[in-house]
Amino acid sequence: TGSLAFSNLAAGATVESIGNGGVSGATADLSAGYVAGATSSTVTFSGGVDSGDLTVTGTGITSQTIKSTGAQNDIDAITLAATTTSVTIDAAAKFATSGALDFGAATSLTITGAGAVDINAAAMDADVIKVDSSASTGDVDVKFADVAATTAATGATITDVADITFVGGAGNDEVSFTVDGDGAGGHELDIDLGAGNDKFTLAEQFQVGSTTKAADKADGGAGTDTLVFAAADAEAQVAVT
């Protein structure tokens, strides 16, 4: 099945891809191009889509909503407008991706709905440092990239604050991240898994706090949770307070 491209979409225009349980294939891409005056975009996948990439463009787009309804919807990669600063995935039905994830200039992702959101086949782009799925009751699976260090506001006592933040909901979540590649001592973590039987996979040891550095935090919340370490890191881990 071929690709589908929309261009010059007006402000307020929404796009829906209806699958009806069919398999369109990895080359059946969907692109949505908006006029310069459009500031938001909503793309809905419904009824069991199984297709290729989603690409959204528009020099004025700042807010992006992706909805999943009906039956499970599977797509490949996501590339959002470079100006995007707010991204929400609202999943009434399961939504899954299998390719690269570029959320524009957004630093956070909000996930809502009762459906599972399985987007950890690839890491999110390195701009995304926070995922808030507190309003989700489905399973949420995400992987953070090797993000840059986050610096606190001017005048703060502790200047080295959390680089990666996750707020879980009621589902059985799976969270992982990419090892810190700049030799700066590891990403600072603020992980709240919420309810459910969750799994948190560490790419490095928990970091110890100091007068200038925030200690890593991992709160399993309710449920039976699993912490996954490499054996060498687990054996070398010191106490974190």
Query: What is the average pLDDT score of the chain?
Result: 91
CA dihedral of residues 132, 135, 137, 141 (deg, nearest 10): -10
| pLDDT tens, position by position, 136-163 | 999 999 999 999 888 776 666 666 688 9
pTM above the 0.75 mark? yes
The residue with greater pLDDT, 202 or 13, is: 13
3-state secondary structure of 44: strand
3-state secondary structure of 233: helix
Q: Where are the beta strands (DSSP E) in 98-151?
A: 101-102, 108-113, 117-118, 130-136, 140-144
Say what the pLDDT of residue 182 is: 65
For residue 226, the tally of other CB atoms under 10 A from its CB is 12
Give the integer Cα–Cα distance in Å for 187 and 190: 10
Give the integer Cα–Cα distance in Å for 187 and 207: 8
Give the integer Cα–Cα distance in Å for 69 and 84: 23
Which tokens in the block code for residue 13? 């225009």
Say what the pLDDT of residue 115 is: 98
Q: Is the pLDDT of residue 8 over 90?
A: yes
The proportion of the chain whose per-residue pLDDT surpasses 90, expressed as a percent, equals 71
The residue with greater pLDDT, 217 or 65, is: 65
Say what the pLDDT of residue 159 is: 63
* pLDDT average, residue stretch 65-81: 97
